[in-house]
Structure formats: C-alpha cells, structure tokens
C-alpha cells in the first residue's frame, strides 16, 4: 500500500468523475491524499482536475479490479456500481467504502424500506407493487395520492410519480419498471441530515438543514434549518446516525426527511457526499468532502461545526446561455463575499453546473445574496 | 482566448510547480479556472495535482512563449523568471501578472530600496556596497551591526548576513556576491501585510499579521497581529497598498515589516502568494490563492475578512522521520478542528513540507493547539 511509502500520502480511488469527485480533489490536495478517478471520458468534471484519471466501465469487474490495485481505499462518486462487484473486491482485500451490504440500501428502495422498518426508523406506509390491483389495494388502506417510485435508478425527481388515481397509476405500472408504493406524506418542509461514519465506528453529524426543491431538484439549502425545534433537530441526527450504524455505512450518509405535523419521516438515503452538504465547503470547519475522505481511510473525523450563524447554498442550473464566465465580473463586484463553484461541465438547460454559497448572520439577507448571484450567473438577469 | 469558449473557464498559466501553485489549484477548482503549470519535473508539488503540467526551463523564452500560448493570464509560483522574458511576452500580448516593471522590485533588493525611498516608504538606511571599505563607510554613519544582503536570489534567510564588524563583513564581500548594506533594525517583532491589486487598480488588504521567524525561516503566523495598535495596523495597510500602487503590482504583494519603537520599517517584498498568507485558506473569506487568481484575471477582488477572531498558522518543517501520514491519526483524534496541509513533497530535514492552521477565540489556546499538531506531525513528540 502506498501509505507505507515515505513521502506520498494514501491513494484513494473514486469510481465516477462527476462534480462530487471533483470537489473531493479540493479536499484531497491539502491532506496530501492522492486521488485516482475512474471516468467514462477525459472531459468529465473530475477528470479535468485529477492527474491519475483512468478511463473504463464501472460495470466491468476486471476494470474495477485493475483500478483498485494500489489504492488504500476505493469509494464512489455515484451509487451505480453493482454490489456483487463491490463484494468481490472486498473479498480480495480491497478497502471499499461504503461496502456492498450498506450500499444496496441506497440502490434498492424496497430493500431500504424493509431494513429501516425492521429497526424502527420512521417511514411512510410502503409496499412493493407489481400490478395496478396492488396499487389499488395499497390506496384502499392508505388513500390517494399514492407515490410510486422506481425501486432502482431514480434521482433528482426522476423515477418518482405522484399518482392521484387508478388511471395515473396504471400508466406508471405499464412502463414495466419495478415499483415501490409509498403513502403520500403531507409534509411541512424537507430536511436533510448528513452524517459520517468510519469503519471503526466513529460517527459525526452535521447540523440539520432545510432543503428546498423545485420539480424534484434541490435548488436551495439553508443551514441550519431555520426555526427547527432543538428536540426535533437532535431526533433527526439520532435517526441518521442510527441508520448509518444499522446499515454499516462507511463514508457519508445523507438522510432526506420530511418534517410533518406528526414528526419526522425518512424519505431517501444517499451514501456519498450529497448536494445537501455542499454548503459545508465554506460553512463547516470540515467539508463533507474532507469528511468522506477521512472516513473511507478510517481516520478520525473532523469537526462538523458551522463557521457562521447561517449558510445558504443555491444550485446553479444551466440556462440557455452557456457563457457563465463573462458574468463572474458583476457577481464578484456586487458581493465580495459570495463563493462561486463551477463544476467544469458544459452548460445545458436544467443541468446542475455549479452552486453558490453565502455565509451570514441574517438568514433573509444571506438568501437574497445567494439568490441574486445564482440568478445572475445562470440567466444574466439582475434581480 | 479560451474565455470566449462556451463551457470552459479561463486558463491561467503558472510558472513554477511548488506548493504555491499547488494551493492555487485548490482555489482554481471551484472557480472553474483551468490551471496550467510549468514544472521542472513531474514529481513536483503542483505537478501532482494539475492535469495540464508542462515540463521546461523557465529561463528559456521559447519555452515560456510556448507555455503562454492559449493562457488568459500567466503568473508565477516563484520570482526567478527573467524580467526581460516577461517584458517580451507582454510585448507579444500575453497578460503576465505581475509584470516585469513590478517584479524587478522583488528580484533586486537595491532596485526595491531605491524605489521605496523615492516615494517615501519607511526603509532602514541602505546603500549598495562593493568593497569592505564601502561597508566600513556605511557602518561609520549607521553603526554596527550592518546587515548585508545578496541583491538577488536570497530567500528564507539565505543571502542575509548580520555582520558585527569589519572582519565578518570582509568574509561576505569576499564571496563576490553583489551586496546591499542595510542598517540593523532593532525591531520589537515582525509583521506582514498581504495586499492584492488588480490590473484595473482595485486594491484589497488582508488584516496585518505577526510572523515569528527562527533561523530566518517563518515558523508561525498570528492573524490578526495580537495587540497591534489600530492606527499602526491602518498605517501598515496604507504602506502596503501604496507600494502595490506605486510599483504597479498586479496580483498579490506581501510586505514584510519590522515593528520598532519608532514605527514601521519595510523589510522585504514578495509578489506572489506568500507563507505569511497561508492562514487565509480557512481564516479569511477569500484565500490568498483565490485572490491572486482573481487579480491576475482582472476580476473584482474577494472579501479579505477574518472567519474567526484568531487564526494561527504553523509551518511544518521536515524532521528526520519522513512518515508523516502515520501521524495523522493522533492529530485528527486529538483535535477535530485542526486543518492540516501537506504539499506532497518528499520530507527532508528543515524543508517546508506543509502547515497547520487553527481558528479560535482565544489566541493562546489556538497557538497551543497548532503547535501541538505541528510538533507531533513532524517529530512524533507529544508536547
């Protein structure tokens, strides 16, 4: 292993070369950790900033085995690597984090619900369904609307259908996609809890945040979640740490929750750095990317404490005009404190191409500043 | 120029691939700026983290010309590029920052003293000297000891000799190195002011810091300089901004000063990110590396404000044991808030291999935490 070498740091292999791997590189550089990335093409976000970029198909075990050789740990930019390959690598002695037994719960929503229900994490009513009759039976018990979710492969609102009646459900069932039915949760707002857990079992939770979604895509994150009852915040953190522990997660776990009149309900899990944690780059003493690297290398975890009373992150979704850079000048001149993040990705309408972060003492002011920067950068409109 | 391309950011070429270029990459990644680096070997600190690494000799104009082709701006990791080459590139339309007319004052200490004296910046008595008789004449006016400095090429205490008498001066003169004589300044402590100036003339100053030197090497930086009179702090910032303006500096300028019973005296200048500004990575809203990139691209400058009441940076100088990484575990477990920085350099005794930064509300506590981490990381001793 390279960590026994005298003058280089450990090598961490990251499967997938999107913006998460790119932002890991920002954290890896100061720690002297050498990142290696498995990309599809040399043009991908992380491939542009990581010297040791290898090209190959993450669905091919031979490719993964070759990629892992010489790595002190292997982790992921996305959750699509087949768990049987992860299990095979682990059996061969590779440190893969998260492991197959944990990651399956981020890949398979039915498996996730089964497990969470088993140890008492708060879930909506749910049932795997195959036919329209199954959905109708579920609705008879839990009422319409019924939320149908693709058991595998959904993200950013894709693979989720809120069905008001039988005919809408029938259309979804007709796709042939394996489905999970969930009771519609009348939530007040959406929260997210990001925790880290290391192989030796240390756990750390970041402050609970509020996430604002539009069309199923996260557009804004407020840290900490404004006005959240401290008891509820502690309960949310306990739930997330419990899930990480029960599932044996190593690395980061993001738990998306609904806040309802009756308490908290777990919505989704992600086992990697998460959009709801991008604010930590400037807003926490340890960014989620550094935390993930510490965890997968089984190093002690860093402080998750806030660096300002409020931190606001707004996603940049590509607009019609791809010329982002020419708009830096206004934003930088207008607000010397706004932090801009671009992922080096080609601008396409609706695509996540970056984010902005603003720290402040007044929440409304910080939100307005972040919004102004994001709108101007993506559209050129002065709000 | 690549900035007119639709989906990539600007390209900044950095001549030299040491730790300063490496830390620039941390700042370039989120801004979507593509760094290109001119290295001597692929093993250098920045070459390990910058994909577009070119190998070549920075003293060769043809190499520089080829390197600069396609860059939106060219800047430096060190101050050794011949100013005639910089002038030639500028004449050919390359945006080089700092420019030759400014940089000469960082390369040539006699030129620096001449210019600073001309516009009234506070300097010690000084004179270019060639013979022992010249030194004796200078001492007759200003007293012993006399500080002899190599006019070109010194750094980290090298090229500086404090001579108590004629015979010590004679030894230095005998080396044949072109020399500057300066009156010895009985200082109370050393301060540094880091400012940025952009081509369109915007200037920003970071808070004044105290630097602690051992054997001519900076070992610790305290931000802000504790107990500094606000009037003196403002005066120090005015002096540094004035120097940047008078010399036409573009990019960063670090001004090292002595605090004396009679006021401030300018000691040295550096025109690049500087060791006295490494604390800004976590300790200021805009790091010196981001600030430098903004300045050389003529973008508006970022906020230099502190992120905590006190920030302490301690350099890591290589010890006898090169196995730094095995000591991460203790430091991370002992203090989840300490920020470690390694430059990916082979450990050699006395070599700057990294630094640690601690933020806090109590200066003594922050100093103790940073010291503990630095001593343990470099020696394995628990203090």
Contact B325 A3 (CB under 8 A): yes
Residues of B in contact with A6 (CB under 8 A): 322-323, 346-347
- Digit-coded pLDDT (tens) for B127-141: 999 999 999 999 999
The reply to whether B61 and B162 lie within a common domain is no
Q: What is the average pLDDT value for chain B, to the nearest integer?
A: 95
* 3-state secondary structure at position A240: helix
- Tell me: pLDDT of A229 over 50: yes
- Digit-coded pLDDT (tens) for A57-104: 999 999 999 999 999 999 999 999 999 999 999 999 999 999 999 999
- Tell me: pLDDT of B114 over 60: yes
Boundary of a domain, candidates B183, B199, B226: B183
A62 assigned to some structural domain: yes
Question: Could you tell me which chain A residue has the CA closest to the CA of B27?
Answer: A26
- The span from the CA of B167 to the CA of B164, in Å, is 8
- Digit-coded pLDDT (tens) for B304-334: 999 999 999 999 999 888 788 889 999 999 9
* 3-state secondary structure at position A193: strand
Whether the Cβ atoms of residue A189 and residue A128 lie closer than 8 Å to each other: no
Which positions ≥6 away from B229 have C-beta within 8 Å?
A: none
Boundary of a domain, candidates A139, A156, A183: A183
Asked whether residue A267 is marked as a ligand-binding residue, the answer is: yes
The reply to whether B132 and B236 lie within a common domain is no
A343 assigned to some structural domain: yes
Antiparallel, parallel or unpaired: β A11-15 and A73-76: parallel
Measured between alpha carbons, how far is residue B85 from residues A204, B58, B82, B99, B103 in Å? 53, 9, 5, 10, 12
The reply to whether A337 and A197 lie within a common domain is yes
The reply to whether B12 and B148 lie within a common domain is no
Asked whether residue A139 is marked as a ligand-binding residue, the answer is: no
Domain extent, residue B259, equals: 189-379
Which positions ≥6 away from A174 have C-beta within 8 Å?
A: none
At A28 the pLDDT is 98
d(CA A93, nearest CA chain B) in Å? 20
Question: Could you tell me which chain B residue has the CA closest to the CA of A346?
Answer: B7
At A179 the pLDDT is 97
The token pair that represents A349 in the structure block? 């309408």
Boundary of a domain, candidates B183, B199, B232: B183
Which positions ≥6 away from B181 have C-beta within 8 Å?
A: B126, B127, B128, B129, B134, B135, B138, B146, B147, B148
HSE, side-chain direction, 13 A CA sphere, residue B358: 26
Of A249, A297, A299, residue with least CA distance to A74: A297
The token pair that represents B326 in the structure block? 């095995």
* 3-state secondary structure at position A148: strand
Q: Report chain B's terminal Cα–Cα distance, integer Å.
A: 53
Of B197, B206, B209, B211, residue with least CA distance to B271: B197
A116 assigned to some structural domain: no
Residue from A25, A26, A30, A278 whose CB has the most chain B CBs within 10 Å, to mutate: A30
At A52 the pLDDT is 97
**Residue scoring higher pLDDT (A5 or A28):** A28
d(CA B94, nearest CA chain A) in Å? 19
d(CA B308, nearest CA chain A) in Å? 8
Annotated binding site of B: 109, 149, 182-185, 190, 267-268
**Out of B29, B299, B346, whose CB is closest to A7?**
B346
Question: Could you tell me which chain B residue has the CA closest to the CA of A290?
Answer: B339
B115 assigned to some structural domain: no
At B347 the pLDDT is 87
Residues of B in contact with A47 (CB under 8 A): 51
The reply to whether B175 and B196 lie within a common domain is no
d(CA A354, nearest CA chain B) in Å? 9
Complex prediction ipTM? 0.94
A103 assigned to some structural domain: no
- Digit-coded pLDDT (tens) for A145-154: 999 999 998 7
The token pair that represents A302 in the structure block? 């860093």
A324 assigned to some structural domain: yes
**Out of B25, B302, B329, whose CB is closest to A332?**
B302
Contact B329 A294 (CB under 8 A): no
- Tell me: pLDDT of B155 over 90: no
Contact B30 A281 (CB under 8 A): yes
**Out of B9, B282, B301, whose CB is closest to A342?**
B9
Residues of A in contact with B7 (CB under 8 A): 322, 345-347
Residue from A336, A346, A366 whose CB has the most chain B CBs within 10 Å, to mutate: A336
- Tell me: pLDDT of A7 over 70: no
Measured between alpha carbons, how far is residue A263 from residues A56, A227, A260 in Å? 45, 15, 5
Look at chain A and report how many structural domains it folds into: 3
Annotated binding site of B for ATP: 109, 149, 182-185, 190, 267-268
Contact A337 B302 (CB under 8 A): yes
Least confident span in A167-176, B174-183, B259-268, B345-354: B345-354
Contact B329 A26 (CB under 8 A): no
In chain A, pLDDT over 70 holds for what percent of residues? 97
Band of pLDDT at residue A307, cut at 50, 70 and 90: very high
- CATH of residue B339's domain is 3.30.470.20
Chains A, B: CB pairs < 8 Å: 142
Residue from A32, A286, A300 whose CB has the most chain B CBs within 10 Å, to mutate: A32
Residues of A in contact with B329 (CB under 8 A): 299-300
- Digit-coded pLDDT (tens) for A241-296: 999 999 999 999 999 999 999 999 999 999 999 999 999 999 999 999 999 999 99
The reply to whether B12 and B82 lie within a common domain is yes
B106 assigned to some structural domain: no
Contact A22 B6 (CB under 8 A): no
- CATH of residue B19's domain is 3.40.50.20
A65 assigned to some structural domain: yes
Whether the Cβ atoms of residue B266 and residue B117 lie closer than 8 Å to each other: no
Residues of A in contact with B342 (CB under 8 A): 9, 30-32
- The span from the CA of B40 to the CA of B49, in Å, is 15
Question: Could you tell me which chain B residue has the CA closest to the CA of A336?
Answer: B302
Contact B346 A6 (CB under 8 A): yes
- Digit-coded pLDDT (tens) for A21-54: 999 999 999 999 999 999 999 999 999 999 999 9
Contact A29 B6 (CB under 8 A): no
Report, as an integer, the average pLDDT of B165-177: 96
- The span from the CA of B68 to the CA of A219, in Å, is 39
Report, as an integer, the average pLDDT of B138-163: 91
Q: What is the average pLDDT value for chain A, to the nearest integer?
A: 95
What secondary structure, in 3-state letters, does chain B show?
CHHHCCCCCCEEEEECCCHHHHHHHHHHHHHCCEEEEEECCCCCCCCCCCCEEEECCCCCHHHHHHHHCCCCEEEECCCCCCHHHHHHHHHCCCCECCCHHHHHHHHCHHHHHHHHHHCCCCCCCEEEECCHHHHHHHHHHHCCCEEEEECCCCECCECEEEECCHHHHHHHHCCCCCEEEEECCCCCEEEEEEEEECCCCCEEECCCEEEEEECCEEEEEEECCCCCCHHHHHHHHHHHHHHHHHHCCCEEEEEEEEEECCEEEEEEEECCCCHHHCCHHHHECCCHHHHHHHHHCCCCCCCCCECCCEEEEEEEECCCCCCCHHHHHHHHHHCCCCEEEECCCCCCCCCEEEEEEEEECCHHHHHHHHHHHHHHHHHCCCC
The reply to whether A88 and A171 lie within a common domain is no
At B324 the pLDDT is 82
The reply to whether A358 and A268 lie within a common domain is yes
At B325 the pLDDT is 85
Residues of A in contact with B346 (CB under 8 A): 6-7
Band of pLDDT at residue A326, cut at 50, 70 and 90: confident
Report, as an integer, the average pLDDT of A208-222: 94
Asked whether residue A73 is marked as a ligand-binding residue, the answer is: no
**Out of A303, A333, A342, whose CB is closest to B300?**
A333
The reply to whether A169 and A223 lie within a common domain is no
The reply to whether A178 and A311 lie within a common domain is no
DSSP codes joined into one string, A255-289: EEEEEETTEEEEEEEE-S--GGGTTHHHHBSS-HH
Q: How many CB atoms lie within 10 A of CB B6?
A: 11
- The span from the CA of A260 to the CA of B31, in Å, is 38
At B320 the pLDDT is 82
Residue from B202, B325, B337, B345 whose CB has the most chain A CBs within 10 Å, to mutate: B325
Q: What is the DSSP letter of A299?
A: P
The reply to whether B269 and B369 lie within a common domain is yes
- Tell me: pLDDT of A116 over 60: yes
Contact B29 A49 (CB under 8 A): yes
d(CA B108, nearest CA chain A) in Å? 32
- Tell me: pLDDT of A4 over 90: no
The reply to whether B319 and B336 lie within a common domain is yes
d(CA B36, nearest CA chain A) in Å? 11
Whether the Cβ atoms of residue B7 and residue B68 lie closer than 8 Å to each other: no
């Amino acid at each position: 292993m390279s960590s026994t070498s005298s003058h280089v740091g450990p090598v961490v292999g990251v499967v997938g070369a999107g913006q998460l791997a790119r932002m890991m590189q920002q954290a890896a550089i100061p720690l002297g950790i050498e990142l290696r990335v498995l990309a599809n093409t040399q043009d991908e976000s992380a491939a542009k900033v990581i010297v040791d970029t290898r090209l190959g198909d993450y669905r091919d075990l031979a490719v993964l085995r070759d990629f892992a050789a010489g790595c002190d740990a292997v982790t992921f930019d996305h959750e699509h690597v087949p768990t049987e390959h992860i299990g095979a690598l682990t059996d061969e002695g590779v440190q893969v984090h998260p492991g197959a037994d944990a990651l399956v719960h981020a890949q398979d929503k039915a498996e996730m619900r089964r497990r969470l229900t088993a140890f008492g994490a708060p879930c909506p009513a749910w049932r795997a369904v195959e036919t329209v009759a199954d959905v109708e039976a579920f609705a008879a018990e839990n009422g319409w609307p019924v939320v149908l979710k693709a058991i595998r492969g959904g993200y950013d609102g894709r693979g989720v259908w809120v069905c008001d009646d039988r005919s809408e459900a029938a259309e979804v069932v007709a796709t042939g996609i394996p489905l999970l039915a969930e009771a519609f949760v009348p939530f007040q707002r959406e929260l997210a809890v990001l925790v880290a857990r290391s192989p030796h079992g240390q756990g750390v939770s970041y402050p609970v945040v509020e996430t604002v979604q539009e069309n199923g895509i996260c557009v804004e994150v407020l840290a900490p979640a404004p006005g959240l009852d401290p008891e509820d915040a502690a309960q949310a953190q306990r739930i997330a740490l419990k899930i990480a522990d029960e599932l044996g997660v190593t690395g980061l776990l993001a738990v998306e929750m609904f806040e309802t009149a009756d308490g908290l309900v777990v919505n989704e899990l992600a086992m990697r750095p998460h959009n709801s944690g991008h604010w930590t780059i400037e807003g926490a003493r340890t960014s989620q990317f550094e935390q993930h690297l510490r965890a997968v290398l089984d190093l002690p975890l860093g402080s998750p404490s806030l660096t300002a009373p409020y931190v606001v992150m707004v996603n940049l979704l590509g607009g019609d005009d791809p010329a982002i850079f020419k708009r830096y000048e206004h934003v930088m001149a207008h607000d010397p404190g706004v932090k801009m993040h671009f992922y080096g990705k080609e601008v396409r309408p609706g695509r996540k191409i970056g984010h902005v972060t603003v720290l402040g003492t007044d929440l409304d002011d910080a939100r307005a500043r972040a919004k102004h920067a994001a709108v101007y950068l993506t559209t050129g409109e002065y709000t």
